[in-house]
Amino acid sequence: MNTPQDVKMRVYSFGDRVADGNSAMKNLLGSKGANLAEMSIMGIPVPPGFTITTKTCTEYNQIGKDNVVSLLMTEVQIAIAKVEKSMGTRFGSNENPCLLSVRSGSRVSMPGMMDTVLNLGMNDDSVKGLIAKTGNSRFAWDTYRRFVQMFGAVVLGVSALTKEDQNPFEEIVEKYKRNRGIELDSDLDVADLKQMVRDFKDLCEMQTGKKFPENPWDQLWASITAVFDSWMNPRAIYYRTMQQIPEEWGTAVNVQAMVFGNMGENSGTGVAFTRNASTGENIFNGEYLINAQGEDVVSGVRTPQQITLKGSKTWAASAGVSEINRKTKYPSLEELMPTTYAELNTTQAILEKHYNDMQDIEFTVQEGKFWMLQTRSGKRTAAAMMKIAIDLLAEGLINEEQVLLMQEPSKLEELLHPVFDGEAIKAAKIIAKGLPASPGAATGQIVFFADEAHKYQFSILVRVETSPEDLEGMNIAKGILTARGGMTSHAAVVARGMGKCCVSGAGSVIVNYKTRQMTIDKQVFHEGDWISLNGTTGEVYKGKIRTKDGELSDDFETIMKLADKYRVLGVRANAETERECKNAIKYGAEGVGLCRTEHMFFEGERIMRIREMILSEDETGRRKALDKLLPIHRQDLKEVLRAMANLPVTIRLLDPPLHEFIPHNIENQKEMAFEMGVSIETIKQKVQDLKEFNPMLGHRGCRLGITYPEITEMQAKAIIEAALELKAEGIKTFPEIMIPLIGTVKELKLQKELLKTIIDRIFEEKGDTIDYLIGTMIEIPRACLIADQIAEEADFFSFGTNDLTQMGFGYSRDDAGKFLPIYIEKGILKSDPFQVLDQEGIGQLIEIATKKGRATKTQLKIGICGEHGGDPSSVEFCHTIGMDYVSCSPFRIPIARLAAAQAALR
Ligand code: ADP
Ligand code: MG
Ligand code: MG
């Protein structure tokens, strides 16, 4: 074998119990390649092959096809020679052909990537050799037609001309089946298959205008480069953006000797999970098909059978198949091939122990001989993610740290998804039943095409089966229903990964793409009709069903407790109402990090008083309006402070530009004029006066309090009086008054002095005091640079990263939609900086401010509020630079707690 140390090495061989790579080399070999190497070393039977590195993919994108092929030529030839030696076949030989599979494989599994090409090396000559060698002409022709179909679809891009049309290859298969009056493609005979090869090739030549390549080497290079190309296809790019996978990673290419599950009744292929990917239960499960190959199991061409006897019985019960029928028509692998099953079962247990995680595995049996084709950490739901880790901990396979590191923080959001309301579901009518492919409740309007999922606010994507092209639509839809495919189908796997509700394999659903109709037992449903799905039970309902918030599970509490044990970063919530505060506490908030007072001014009476203040001619008028607002504001703040008893609450003084409050339509302006006893013209004039060219850089933040001190005065009164009143009730509060948008020390100083004067006066009046802090938001780049001076006046800093990003980049948040997506597409930015903190630039500003602030005051309390407080990578950054807490919306608190624990462990 080659030495992996050689930096120029682009090809890594595996097979026959040895390998150049291993599972630690996922970055270079992709996850599939690294794990194939690892399994070889472990002595698990894996067909020999080799992996072309992910770095080569990057080279390919730089230097192009021809150059990469010449760079790879020698290494690939050597690697193929090893495969030939191991298999006793020859690549390109007519008599004894070595057939190959070409598979993509990046660091993480990507459903948007290229499909696999199997049986590469087939042509009009090698098919004869294969017949002579195996004496099985049905097998040889089946292999050939599969090759032409896959190569045609995947490499040559032959496809349906419109989305309503059926896949043209499938159309041909259907035609043959119809002519013969058979249902299954495994019943096609040699004559059919032979003719089908011709038809497939004609189809390819017609669509591409080129001859179908006969030369195996041409086939191979075309397939390898097609895998590289697929890294940049729109589906893959979409998936990467969705999952924040960097483009630089690239994909590896795995080339491997074929093993054949389509050699007859003693052969087959299957997919299995070492534990349940939906619920996390420790139950080995999976699906297989006899006399089948590759994607047959997942694509739903035939109803897949269950691997275990227990699984088979459960399946039969839910599908309404009698025990006799089950045993004869759909026996489990355990019953049908007990030796193979035993081998599979042993292997899955070994693999799970070896990787210490639930594995998603693929295997093939060729005439009784067992081969493993893949193992990887299985995609799972959030519930399964937690349960599996907790169980592995109890089984002594992993420790607490590993439990936490195995959790994907952003998946926790799934747990907060709604479930059907118990009463509403009782009244609902079940119209079909499928497999519970991905749990959850979804209600929406039917769409039949992925690119139409956005047609309705709530849509349910109904398909015969999904394919990687449907990714974006699956993401947009609220739920997915498929007529075909099992628990391991594309739809099921992708939906679980996305945490999206999915019912698959609902056999009674007949989909007609042309008429845009779905028929179930003669009942017709049209596009736009409402249906509901229960992905936990597999039930499909007619109509819209009310949902409610899901309950938090015990596993969730266990994981959160564990996270709290390891994290050092505090977690607070952005909240303005009692309800939000209660939610925040339920999810584990340790205080409010941002209470935006302007959010308390929009409802009813409040907005009127604010408008009155804004539209007043002079200070007297403003004070009059503010006096009326004071008791309401005090009451609102009291509710928040009460809900957060014993916990700190950061209350931010009024921040937005005033024009956000004023009426822009004539009706409301009239009402305002009447209310204030002034003419409509006066109002209109005032509205005109308040217009700003750049409101975000205009009269807002502390600039309001500086120009209208009476606003700050009123807010100070409301806060302190509320706290004192609560104290009288025996409730302890810790208000932290936050002054927004500071750019100079003097601004802070003036506002602080004003606050202190008012507060001291109230203390004196009431003869009582409370503890409070006065701090500031750091959200203007200048403030970061003079943070040492600002810290002299501030008890705390809270980074307002929304504004800091806006002003640091010079991107108006409200206008960025026009160019940000293009910036991301062109790779100028890796992600939206308003969602994921830009650590490189904005991060530096935060670091400078933190260092300077703490240089003045070692104990300065520092936190972050804004969208980034709930983003895992940003939370990690906050931990690293030593902040005290992050603050985010209540629903993101669990994510922040977990991310904070992971940051502490890393
Ligand atoms: P995916 O990443 O979508 O799972 P794979 O590369 O694993 O794609 O391949 C798709 C299908 O082809 C799988 O069912 C796999 O078992 C089958 N397959 C891949 N390589 C071989 C091979 N060398 N022999 C037989 N079947 C193969
Ligand atoms: Mg695939
Ligand atoms: Mg696979």
Is 526 catalytic? The answer is: no
Q: How much is the pLDDT for 402?
A: 97
480 three-state secondary structure: strand
Confirm or reject: Cβ of 374 under 6 Å from ligand 1. yes
Distance of CA 437 to the CA centre of its chain: 17
**Residue 555 to residues 367, 378, 387, 886, Cα–Cα distance (Å):** 44, 19, 6, 24
Ligand 2 centroid to residue 103 C-alpha, Å: 9
CA–centroid distance, residue 335 to ligand 3 (Å) = 25
User: Which residues, chain by chain, have CB under 5 Å from ion ligand 3?
Assistant: 362, 374
- Across 761-777, average pLDDT: 97
- Assign 3-class secondary structure to 812-874: CCCCHHHCHHHHHHCCCCCCCCCCCCCCCCHHHHHHHHHHHHHHHCCCCEEEEECHHHHCHHH
Ligand 1 pocket, residue 286 CB under 6 Å: no
In a domain, 852, yes or no: yes
Decide: 703 and 741 in contact? Cβ < 8 Å: yes
Query: Do 874 and 818 fall within a single domain?
Result: yes
CATH number for 512: 3.50.30.10
**Shared-domain flag, residues 313 and 446:** no
Question: Which residue shows structure tokens 């700190």?
Answer: 648
Answer yes or no: is 648 within a domain.
Answer: yes
Q: What is the DSSP letter of 549?
A: P
Please tell me the distance between residue 588's alpha carbon and the centre of ligand 3 in angstroms: 39
- Cα separation, 599 vs 212, whole angstroms: 65
98, 501, 581, 865: the active-site residue: 865
Query: Could you tell me the distance, in angstroms and rounded to a whole number, from the CA of residue 295 to the centre of ligand 3?
Result: 9
Please compute the mean of the pLDDT values over residues 286-310 and round it to a whole number: 90
Q: What is the pLDDT of residues 649-662, one digit of tens each?
A: 999 999 998 888 88
CATH number of the domain to which 131 belongs: 1.20.80.30
Kindly indicate the confidence band of residue 112, based on its pLDDT and cuts at 50, 70 and 90. Answer: low
Write the DSSP string, 313-352: HHHHHHHT--HHHHHHHS--HHHH-HHHHHHHHHHHHHHH
- Same-domain check for residues 812 and 800: yes
User: Judging by DSSP bridges, how do beta strands 419-420 and 547-548 pair with one another?
Assistant: antiparallel
- From the CB of residue 646, how many other CB atoms can be counted at a distance below 10 Å? 9
pLDDT, mean over the chain: 93
Whether residues 225 and 280 share a domain: the answer is no
Task: Give per-residue pLDDT as tens, 771-788.
Answer: 999 999 999 999 999 999
Shared domain for 582 and 721, answered yes or no, is yes
Residue 531: CA count within 13 A, CB half-sphere:
34
Nearest-CA residue for ligand 1 atom 17 is 294
Distance CA(537)–CA(350), nearest Å, equals 31
Task: Supply the range of the domain harboring residue 315.
Answer: 268-380
Residue 4 banded pLDDT, cuts 50, 70, 90: very low
Q: Say if residue 581 is in the same domain as residue 507.
A: no
Task: Tell me the pLDDT band of 565, cut-offs 50, 70 and 90.
Answer: very high
Query: For residues 344 and 370, is the Cβ–Cβ distance under 8 A?
Result: yes
Q: Which atom of ligand 1 is nearest to the CA of 259?
A: 24
Whether 634 maps to a domain, the answer reads yes
Q: Whole-angstrom Cα distance, residue 601 to residue 616?
A: 17
Which of 380, 410, 442 marks a domain boundary? 380
Give 666 or 772, the one with higher predicted confidence.
772
Number of domains in the chain: 5
Q: Are strands 441-447 and 530-534 parallel, antiparallel or unpaired?
A: antiparallel
Q: What percent of the chain has pLDDT over 70?
A: 99
Answer yes or no: are the C-beta atoms of 348 and 374 closer than 8 Å: no
CA–CA distance, 526 with 512 (Å, rounded to integer): 10
Closest C-alpha among 523, 484, 507 to residue 167: 484
The CATH number of the domain holding residue 75 is: 3.30.1490.20
Token representation of residue 88? 């006793």
57, 204, 417, 490: the active-site residue: 490
Residues 757 and 883 in one domain: yes
- For ligand 1, say whether the CB of 360 is within 6 Å of any of its atoms: no
Pocket test for ligand 1, best of 103, 256, 302 (most atoms within 8 A of CB): 103
Catalytic residue status for 784 = no
Which tokens is 431 given?
């119209």
Which contiguous run of DSSP H or E holds residue 133? Answer: helix 126-134
Q: Is residue 561 part of a domain?
A: no
CATH code of the domain covering residue 896: 3.20.20.60
Same domain, residue pair 599 and 631: yes
Whether residue 436 is contained in a domain is answered as yes
732 within domain boundaries = yes
Which of 39-43, 57-61, 296-300 is least confident? 296-300
Q: Is the pLDDT of residue 2 over 60?
A: no
**Does the residue 252 lie in any domain?**
yes
For residues 242 and 300, membership in a common domain is answered with: no
714 shares its domain with 765? yes
- The residue contributing the CA closest to ligand 1 atom 11 is 294
Q: Is 259 in the pocket of ligand 1 (CB under 6 A)?
A: yes
- Determine the Cα–Cα distance for residues 889 and 885; give it in Å rounded to an integer: 14
Two structure tokens written together for 854: 């703490």
Distance CA 80, CA 590 (A): 60
Q: Which CATH number does the domain housing residue 273 bear? A: 3.30.470.20
Q: Express each pLDDT in 586-621 by its tens digit.
A: 999 999 999 999 988 887 788 889 988 988 889 999
Helix, strand or coil, per DSSP, at residue 364: strand
Which residue pairs from 560-564 have beta carbons closer than 8 angstroms and sit at least 24 positions apart in sequence? 560/588, 560/894, 560/897, 560/898, 562/400, 562/403, 562/404, 562/901, 563/404, 563/897, 563/898, 563/900, 563/901, 564/588, 564/897, 564/901
- Shared domain for 501 and 435, answered yes or no, is yes
| Same domain? 118 vs 129 | no
- In short, whether 362's Cβ falls inside 6 Å of ligand 1 is yes
* pLDDT of res. 137: 96
Q: Is 497 inside any structural domain?
A: yes
CA of 193 to the centre of ligand 1 (A): 22
The rounded Å distance from CA 250 to ligand 2 centre is 17
Last residue of a domain, one of 214, 233, 249: 214
Angle at alpha carbon of residue 43, lines to 39 and 46, rounded to 5°: 55
Residue nearest to atom 20 of ligand 1 (CA): 101
Adjacent-strand bridge partners of 49: 14, 256
**Does ligand 1 have an atom closer than 6 angstroms to the CB of 494?**
no
Arithmetic mean of pLDDT, 346-351: 98
Q: Indicate whether residue 295 lines ligand 1 (CB < 6 A).
A: yes
Among 53-67, 172-186, 251-265, 846-860, name the one with the lowest average pLDDT.
172-186
Question: Ligand 1: does its nearest atom lie under 6 Å from the Cβ of 118?
Answer: yes
Q: Tell me which amino acid residue 260 is.
A: F
For residue 341, pLDDT over 80 is answered with yes
Q: Whose CA is nearest to atom 14 of ligand 1?
A: 294
Q: Which range among 70-79, 310-319, 369-378 shows the weakest confidence by mean pLDDT?
A: 310-319
Q: What is the pLDDT of residues 202-245, one digit of tens each?
A: 999 999 999 999 999 999 999 999 999 999 988 898 888 888 88
CB of 364 closer than 6 angstroms to any ligand 1 atom: yes
Strands 734-739 and 501-504: unpaired
CA of 785 relative to ligand 1 center, distance in Å: 56
